[in-house]
Amino acid sequence: MLVYYIYRLLGLIAPLVPPSLGYPLAITLGALFYHLKKGTRANIYNNVTHILGNRSRNTSSYQAANDGDDIKAIVRGVFRSMGKNYYDLFRLPTLSQAEIARLIKVEGWEHIDKALSKGKGLILVQAHIGNINILAQVPALRNITVVFPVERVKPEVLFQYICSLRANKNLRLIPVDGALFELFRALRRNELVGLAADRDITESGIVVDFFGAPARLPDGYAQLALRTGAPIIVGFSRRLPDNTSIIHLDPPLK
């Protein structure tokens, strides 16, 4: 329960802190957790080393893969980004739609409109890159109903609180366990279903070659599209130096 009370406290404090101070504080906390969360730091370091090392073996022009200092800098950047993302999450419920819109620039929105015009709903596939909480807000800001399955965390009161931070009148979060039928219903209502494609929470995905090593990735979005005929669009967000985000939406997969 301690984590829950910490989250509630941060949810009270973060909206009171202006971005000019909030983001530097978030970076500082991210740097602190870089030193405290040794296990998480080691996992990220190993992943980055594997990815960049594999790239260097296949791209002779890439020189930084074996440079430990460069990899450490990337890992530190991950923690800084996580700090900023949490700051945005805790203040999200207090931001107006206009304030959220000012944080976002969207490239490729026409693909969303065209896909939904077919009447079969839409599956928006994303990864945990950039500010994922902001990406989830984009369709909802344009009065499109979004259903997003999320991992259930314990205790239940913490899960419900995190969902309350992210949700709004057009964005509904549901537990990933047992979400299948609700996703079918959402697509039949011509709504948007958001799915993450880089983490197999249910461990029901497929094993693929990922940067030269086997990895289990979710395939639920593909199964859902095959069963319903709903188009798939891939979207990614990228945080800019001024802490706004660019959302890039690809054309529907074929």
DSSP-derived letter for residue 155 is S
Q: Are residues 82 and 132 located together in one domain of the fold?
A: no
Q: Are residues 233 and 131 located together in one domain of the fold?
A: yes
Q: Are residues 104 and 82 located together in one domain of the fold?
A: no
Rounded CA separation 132/86 (Å): 11
Domains held by the chain: number: 2
Q: Are residues 108 and 161 located together in one domain of the fold?
A: yes
To the nearest 10 degrees (0 to 180), the angle between helices 38-58 and 68-91 is: 120
DSSP bridge pairs for 181: none
Q: Is residue 254 part of a domain?
A: no
Q: Which of 78, 93, 108 marks a domain boundary? A: 93
Q: Give residue 220's domain range.
A: 97-249
**For 239, phi and psi rounded to 5 degrees?**
-80, 135
Q: Which amino acid is at 162?
A: I
Encoding tokens for residue 177? 């366990």
Q: Any idea of the CA torsion for 187, 223, 111, 178, to the nearest 10 degrees?
A: 40
Q: Are residues 61 and 182 located together in one domain of the fold?
A: no
Q: Are 232 and 123 in contact (CB under 8 A)?
A: yes
Rg (CA), the chain: 19
Q: How many CA atoms lie within 13 A of 242 on its CB side?
A: 6
pTM for the predicted model, two decimal places: 0.89
Q: Are 26 and 13 in contact (CB under 8 A)?
A: no
Q: What is the pLDDT along the chain (254 residues), one digit of tens a residue?
A: 899 999 999 999 999 999 999 999 999 999 999 999 999 999 999 999 988 875 544 544 444 444 678 899 999 999 999 999 999 999 999 999 899 999 999 999 999 999 999 999 999 999 888 888 887 888 888 999 999 999 999 999 999 999 999 998 899 999 998 888 999 999 999 999 999 998 888 888 999 998 888 999 999 999 999 999 999 999 999 999 999 999 999 999 97
Rounded CA separation 146/136 (Å): 8
DSSP-derived letter for residue 128 is S
Q: Are residues 109 and 172 located together in one domain of the fold?
A: yes
Q: Which of 93, 124, 148 marks a domain boundary? A: 93
The domain spanning residue 193 has which CATH number? 3.40.1010
Q: Is residue 24 part of a domain?
A: yes
